[in-house]
Amino acid sequence: MNFAHVAIIGLGLQGGSIGLAVQEFLPGTRVSGYDLDPAHRARAAERGLAHVVHDSAEDAVREADLVIFCVPPGVMGDAARAVRPALRPDALISDVGSCKGSIARALGEALPDHFVIPAHPVAGTEHSGPDAGFAHLFRNRWCIITPPEQTDLLKLSALVEFWEALGANVEHMNAEHHDLVLAVTSHLPHLIAYTIVGTASDLENVTQSEVIKYSAGGFRDFTRIAASDPTMWRDVFLNNKDAVLEMLGRFTEDLTALQRSIRMGDGEALFGHFARTRAIRRSIIEEGQDDSRPDFGRGDHEGIVPAA
Ligand SMILES: NC(=O)C1=CN([C@@H]2O[C@H](COP(=O)(O)OP(=O)(O)OC[C@H]3O[C@@H](n4cnc5c(N)ncnc54)[C@H](O)[C@@H]3O)[C@@H](O)[C@H]2O)C=CC1
Ligand SMILES: O=C(O)C(=O)Cc1ccc(O)cc1
């Protein structure tokens, strides 16, 4: 089963990329879109992010057999409630949110008569809005699908095929496990980046211009991550609170252990730790997941500035 008509609610980085990718890789599929922000709707129409950009969310979903919510995690429920009266009874509901447990609950409560199969393309950049999307965002990236225990297997396999057509490698997980894994691999790294960039800018005896001038080292990578959308990341931390707090607790314990090694002059402990983490990085590259590769999706679109 293929989807004949996909409706995208929220035409920013994710929604815009899906719209462009469907038009490029699934040319038989119709794409309609809606965004709450009129300026984003106008820009989305200019860029052709969907075949039609509607001025009402209800009009966007009316004919769709797949509706994907691409809005910040905190407004998934509101966005779903807004389209409820216009949905086809057989429409599959999905989303792209960065955390899954709370979003699955919000969508399920808003649309109790529909099948909801949440998904998370683990693909993105620090850019947002309708200018940020590009068709190849999902190429060679994971898309984690978190189906509920009771689901429609035909619809599930259609959703898997949909994401594969967009270039993604699909993985299944339960929502709780997804939230724990992503807490350590994505959410905590963003929190650390937000923290360190703030710490550097608050220093009294190191000037802003020194921070900018000498940021060629690791700090520069942190500034890219710390430029990510504040609304989305506020919502991620509020919606994946328990898993993030669990990982943050472990992280601070490990940081304190390293702090102690430095204070005690324990070079052996420091060396052992750094050797272990270097091996982890090398195994990621061996598995072909090094996103500094030139063809890794970033840099092939006019709105995306390749990481320096
Ligand atoms: N930015 C990233 O790298 C990634 C983001 N995600 C997830 O994708 C979702 C969307 O993120 P982005 O596309 O990056 O954000 P974005 O900020 O680029 O786009 C979100 C769009 O939703 C619109 N919007 C907000 N409230 C709305 C509503 N009630 N109804 C309709 N439109 C509404 C906004 O005007 C905006 O255009 C989030 O849930 C995020 O967690 C998932 C993977 C990567
Ligand atoms: O820009 C980056 O490095 C990212 O990590 C993008 C990203 C942000 C949020 C996600 O849920 C998945 C990917």
Measured in Å, residue 62 CA sits from the centre of ligand 2 at: 31
**Domain spanning 5-173: which superfamily?**
NAD(P)-binding Rossmann-like Domain (3.40.50.720)
- Report phi then psi at 43, rounded to 5: -70, -35
Q: What is the pLDDT of residues 67-115, one digit of tens each?
A: 999 999 999 999 999 999 999 999 999 999 999 999 999 999 999 999 9
Q: What is the pLDDT of residues 223-280, one digit of tens each?
A: 999 999 999 999 999 999 999 999 999 999 999 999 999 999 999 999 999 999 999 9
Cβ atoms of 143 and 171 within 8 Å: the answer is yes
**Predicted-assembly ipTM surpassing the 0.90 threshold:** yes
CA distances from 168 to 6, 196, 254 (A): 17, 32, 34
H-run or E-run covering 142? strand 142-145
**Domain spanning 177-300: which superfamily?**
6-phosphogluconate dehydrogenase C-terminal like domain (1.10.3660.10)
Measured in Å, residue 96 CA sits from the centre of ligand 1 at: 8
DSSP code at position 9: E
Which residue out of 184, 228, 229, 234 has the highest number of ligand 2 atoms within 8 Å of its CB and is therefore the one to mutate? 228
Average pLDDT, the chain: 92
H-run or E-run covering 236? helix 230-239
Local structure of 137: helix, strand or coil: coil
Measured in Å, residue 131 CA sits from the centre of ligand 1 at: 12
- Return the domain boundaries, the chain: 5-173, 177-300
